[in-house]
Structure 1
Amino acid sequence: MSHSAVPSPHMEKRTNSETTISSIDGDLLYRGYPVSELVEESSFLETTFLIVQGNLPSQEQLADMQAVMSEAAVLEQDIVNFIERLPLNVPAIDILRTGVNLLALSDAYEEELSPNDVWETLQRLLAQYPLLLATRHRIARGLEPAEPRDDLSYAGYLYWSLTDREPSPLAERALDAFLILSAEHELTPSTYCARIVASTRSDFLSSVIAGICAMKGVWHGGPGRQAIDILEAVESPAAAPSIVRAVLKQYERMPGFWHRVYRTSDPRSELLRPICRDVALEVGKMNMEEVSSAIESAVWDEQQFLPSYDWPAARMLHYLGLDSDLFVPLFVISRTVGWAAHFIEQQQTPQPIRPRAVYVGQPERPFLPLSERG
């Protein structure tokens, strides 16, 4: 589509908080680098280093990071046993949140964390995230625990550990692109929650847990099952307009459309769209891509809204054979990188974040003793 979206009547007012981490005004930038170039030229781990450390890593720095993560890629047996005892109907996002809580119990920290402390904790957490998710996911499917794979990229190992399948070069690249595009996006609700916790001088993993709790909310959870349910309900592109109208009778917006900041298209959606289409072609899902295009046109005709990042992200993860229950946890894995950078940045400020509220309740009134209240 080549539409230009009209301003939404629901557009949020922006605050004037300052950050050096990312810019979502105009071109999407991480530390000054266009994200389009990072998706094309870098890897998730390189982008992680950039977002948290401020510059792209040298070969030696990247090798050191990979070595640290390889050594940290192990879960204590007590944590594995705890996850094994959880009911199988517990959502994967709750497994991830619980796992971080358990990891925090054994993570010693000083009252004042240095940026290097946060960096070291982030590397361990990124190494253990796939194990937390894969342990539960594989137990539920009768698979043996995932073994370390030094021959795969971070995205490739994440894919293999969750599917027990070797990723194709395209699948590995696609998941890597998803992780890069999801890693940071300024002051989203989850990032703001993480910064509030950081501003109280709490520890980094507490900030991560706060971010996960916010990310679990249906209004901020990243790619979800709803988009796939709608796509699967539309049997052909011709049926898209009627399905869209039916959905809009029940809901204000179509899942996967509209964004609270972007007045035109979401640049992450535009970057992921061609990769998503390539994956669909590789796995034989082009019919769903054609249905998706028809839905986009129908939503435009009805509301003049363009797809958000969630729309191609949900499709692409679905094409990769990943369960929808994993979509938000995968988003969390990536966004933890941004939370780490914001935690460090927030520590440079001298006071906690203390928003004010406008009181709109009852005016001052006299107190009546209990005996006079009837």
Structure 2
Amino acid sequence: MHRDALPDTDLHPAAAALAADAVAGETHIRIDGIEKRFEAFRALQQVSLDIQRGELVCLLGPSGCGKTTLLRILAGLEKPDAGSVSSFGKDITRLPPARREFGIVFQSYALFPNLDVAKNIAFGLDGPGDRKRARVTELLALVGLSGNEEKYPAQLSGGQQQRVALARALATNPRLLLLDEPLSALDARVRAHLRGEIRALQQRLGVTTVMVTHDQEEALAMADRIVVMNAGRIEQIGTPEEIYEAPANAFVAGFVGQANWLAGSVVDAGRVAIAQSELAAQVSPSMPSGAQVRLMIRPEDLVLHGGWTPDMAGDPNTGLAQVLGAELIGGAYRVSLLLPHLGAARVQADVSRSVYRQRCAEASVIPVTLPAERLRVFPADGASR
């Protein structure tokens, strides 16, 4: 077992208690019209969001977008200037943090260095000593750290310290778990491993969870729904698939995942002109003929062909591309291409290693298709709403 791996066990008592209390589809948290200013800086602008019981929601966005401020308002560590927060229909906007029945895990772990693991976890527990010891034992088993009661934080790896912080947050059976960049201080290998284990634990417990992250890969891997934020506003709310496959605007398209961008102008509802070519694309009825637009396509959606065939001449979305180079990205290659028929635009295509070897390694020019159904069309001015 990996030193930071969670055990594959049946539901622990703590998990069973939370899971038995879950009601699918019930609104747990309602955030309504939240506004927050720090002097002249407007951190949050009319933020509204419903969080369902038992789901994991990721607040995703760049630094300064307001996601951590929103989490702190949920925790009661900040007060909004306007708007409200309710839990199961009860207004908790002004409720002190200690009365919210929430657990929180910070980026920095926030463990007490002078207390051993058992005392760190038991810090917020009440009751007799034997009951607290039993609870600590149960939680350490839950997070895969049985037998580490007497160790101090400095004797643990980063991933183990974060597990202790998670166990402490779960000690009081919180109704809501808040995770503030919980994995960002870890190295890449441990971070990738631990995110899957935290997700599995959250699902076993059935505890409603809100996580702040700036890491799109983390959000896509862990969340039931992602809330993409920018400049204090929500840009889009959706499942990972919806956010990635159908971004609501250019900001979301550019922030989540890799993207190729092409500048063009609308011909009609089914065509966009780029240089001397016209590509088939699905254009919104709100975009008039002549409107300047930006087309987005993901690198994995470009189709690289082994050779030119006569039927390609009738496809407006297929043309010859010059291979400029490639880089190995794990099990795939990212191929850089020049598209002369699209005004010398440069794009990248992600292909398997076998496709790269068969079609790109020895070739200087190859046919490339930009499928119409994979092209997303956005206003050139970047308007998001």
Tell me which interval the TM-score lies in, with the shorter structure as reference length: under 0.3
TM-score (norm 1): 0.26
* Structure of higher RCO (CA pairs closer than 8 Å, 6+ residues apart): 1
Report which of the two has the higher share of helix: 1
| Structure whose CA Rg is larger | 2
Higher strand fraction (1 or 2)? 2
